Structure 1
Amino acid sequence: MDRRTPATDPAVARRGETLLNDIEYRFRLMGQGPSPMSVDGRSLGHGLPRRAIALPELSAILMHPSCGYAARDTAWRLLVQRARTGDPAWRVGAVGVALPGLRFKAYLLAKLFTADVQAAIVEHFLRALGTVDPAKPGVVGNLLSAAFSKARAELREQEPASSGAPNHAAGTSLPPTPYGHPDLVLARAVTTGAITVQEAELIGATYLEEVTLTAYAERFGQPRWNLYKRRTAAVARLKAAIESGALSDLYTDVVNEATATAGLDVPTARKRP
């Protein structure tokens, strides 16, 4: 099996518009055969299966709403550690496990830019594997948010005339399965106009990826109170869309429950910018 990383594989680079599909194909191959790439669920604990878990199965387990935050963080700390050994196979494996989140971030970027957003998000995710602090909670959320912010900044420099309005060019359709993943409920909300791309990223990062509102505000250089007000208004529109049935899906309850959580890094008093 070819074990070059996605960012340096010229065959993949020529097909940038299908990069994530190519990575997924390679990732699935890693989970097959008599010796698939796997992690030891027994040593990871936190309710994960007490056996070898092939990476594609691990990805499915970690993205399921029933999987706890502690299990996600423990598994992702191990993936980051192995990716940092420099083994290309584990770098591809980490990208593969993160594919549901990467597809969502690429979808949001494709609403704003016409460049190769998939290549940008993968490149910056690979870089984030080497820089993220795995000791902090919400490891995968921190990885995805860092990759998104860096990719967006790079794409904005490449397309300085971009107005920030949604881009409906070819290739911006909803990403493929799993359609019920909470991130993709947010993607539907963007498509229907219930919330904006920026609001989807804000909600996704601070409610579903365990990135605190304070950390998010620092990352993007914005006042926390302003983000809090924007998020509150966006959540209200999102809830209205869910309750109306406009985003009908098996997992909309997951988003609804997450955004109903009280006291999640909510400022107690207005902060001056």
Structure 2
Amino acid sequence: MDRRTTATEPAVSRRGETLLNDIEYRFRLVGQGPSPLSVDGRSLGLGLPRRAIALPELSAILMHPSCGYAARDAVWRLLVRQARTGDPAWRAGAVGVALPGLRFKAYLLAKLFTGDVQAAIVEHFLRALGTVDVARPGVVGNLLSAAFSKARAELRDLEPASSGVPNHAPGAAVPPAPYGHPDLVLARAVAAGLITVQEAELIGATYLEEVSLTDYAERTGQPRWNLYKRRTAAVARLKAAIGSGALSDPYDDVVNEATATVVFDAPATRKRP
């Protein structure tokens, strides 16, 4: 692995809604340097290019539907291990590779809170790098879900006490990344009022991030059966919108396929309390 770079860790204390854009700009700029931070695709295998892969290119590869879950997990286990060395360049690099997911989580938070959602999600993602269980499948999904949950709790505590309903910050919705991603289909479905923020988080975590419904229920403190029913209804609305063309996007088929093929892990019959 090549690690000669001047990248520094993201300044998560920075205010404003441009933080993720700034991180992306620096991430891609560093990736164009003479010795970009990279991983060895030959050593990782699992269908990755058999050469050094700069992190910006790696991010694009991981988002492509042809990249399997095993390859994603192998890459993210490596990124987490490198980040845990304490090297600011690798910690910043992990944030850069996770930017599509971080944008989506920030978008969901911005629908609920008026605080600095981008700084919150980046800060808690960096913290999650030190605690996530890399032995569990869906490493990046677990990272993003943990960061989202912690950021949501922090932002909720910071909301004005007089606020009786969630606030929608003017201009808080982050602009879409310049490439498609299944999460952005969910974000657009939320913006269109087809599904709620909570339903988008539930679908994204349990279908696209390989978090089991049982784990999600335990993490959020909600009954699994209730989540199963909510998810089923939300998926039906989402699939109908995709089928009708209301959510025309190159990655609609990724969400459609995921929600059609993942086995429900809810019990066949409802358990008594």
TM-score clears 0.5: yes
Residue equivalent to 2:225: 225
* Cα deviation 1:94-133 (Å, max 9, x = unaligned): 0000000000000000000010000000000000000000
* Cα deviation 1:26-48 (Å, max 9, x = unaligned): 11122122211000000111000
Structural mapping, 1:33-182, within 5 Å: 33-159=33-159, 160-163=161-164, 165=166, 167-178=167-178, 180-182=180-182
Residue equivalent to 2:23: 23
Amino acid at match of 2:77: R
* Cα deviation 1:199-227 (Å, max 9, x = unaligned): 00000000001111111111111111111
Residue equivalent to 1:5: 9
Q: 1:161 to 1:144 in 2, by over 3 A?
A: farther
Within the alignment, does 1:192 sit opposite 2:203 as a pair? no
Cα distance, 1:164 vs structure 2? 5.2
Q: 1:174 to 1:20 in 2, by over 3 A?
A: closer
* Cα deviation 1:32-67 (Å, max 9, x = unaligned): 222110000001110000000000000000011111
In 2, the alpha carbon distance for the partners of 1:163 and 1:199 equals: 21
Q: Contact conserved, 2:224 with 2:266, CA < 8 A, in 1?
A: no
Structure 1 stretch 179-188 or stretch 212-221: which is displaced more? 179-188
Q: Which runs of 4+ in 1 moved over 4 A?
A: 160-165
Secondary structure (helix, strand or coil) at the match of 2:195 reads coil
* Cα deviation 1:164-209 (Å, max 9, x = unaligned): 54x4432233532245311000011001100000000000000001
Q: 1:18 to 1:212 in 2, by over 3 A?
A: same
Cα distance, 1:17 vs structure 2? 1.4
In 2, the alpha carbon distance for the partners of 1:256 and 1:141 equals: 18
Secondary structure (helix, strand or coil) at the match of 1:17 reads coil
Q: Contact conserved, 1:205 with 1:211, CA < 8 A, in 2?
A: yes
Q: Contact conserved, 1:110 with 1:171, CA < 8 A, in 2?
A: no
Gaps of 5+ in 1: none
What is the CA RMSD across the aligned residues, in angstroms? 1.6
* Cα deviation 1:64-97 (Å, max 9, x = unaligned): 1111000000000000000000000000000000
Secondary structure (helix, strand or coil) at the match of 2:71 reads helix
Structural mapping, 1:247-258, within 5 Å: 247-258=247-258
Gaps of 5+ in 2: none
Secondary structure (helix, strand or coil) at the match of 1:271 reads coil
Cα distance, 1:161 vs structure 2? 4.6
Q: 1:265 to 1:133 in 2, by over 3 A?
A: same
Cα distance, 1:163 vs structure 2? 4.6
Q: 1:30 to 1:267 in 2, by over 3 A?
A: farther
Q: Contact conserved, 2:79 with 2:90, CA < 8 A, in 1?
A: yes
Q: Contact conserved, 2:77 with 2:134, CA < 8 A, in 1?
A: yes
Residue equivalent to 1:263: 263
Q: Contact conserved, 1:128 with 1:143, CA < 8 A, in 2?
A: yes
In 2, the alpha carbon distance for the partners of 1:263 and 1:194 equals: 23
Q: Contact conserved, 1:112 with 1:162, CA < 8 A, in 2?
A: no
Q: Contact conserved, 1:104 with 1:175, CA < 8 A, in 2?
A: no
Q: Contact conserved, 1:182 with 1:255, CA < 8 A, in 2?
A: yes
> In the comparison of the two structures, how many residue pairs are matched?
268
Cα distance, 1:249 vs structure 2? 1.1
* Cα deviation 1:129-175 (Å, max 9, x = unaligned): 0000001000000000000000001101111455554x443223353
Cα distance, 1:244 vs structure 2? 1.7
Within the alignment, does 1:32 sit opposite 2:28 as a pair? no
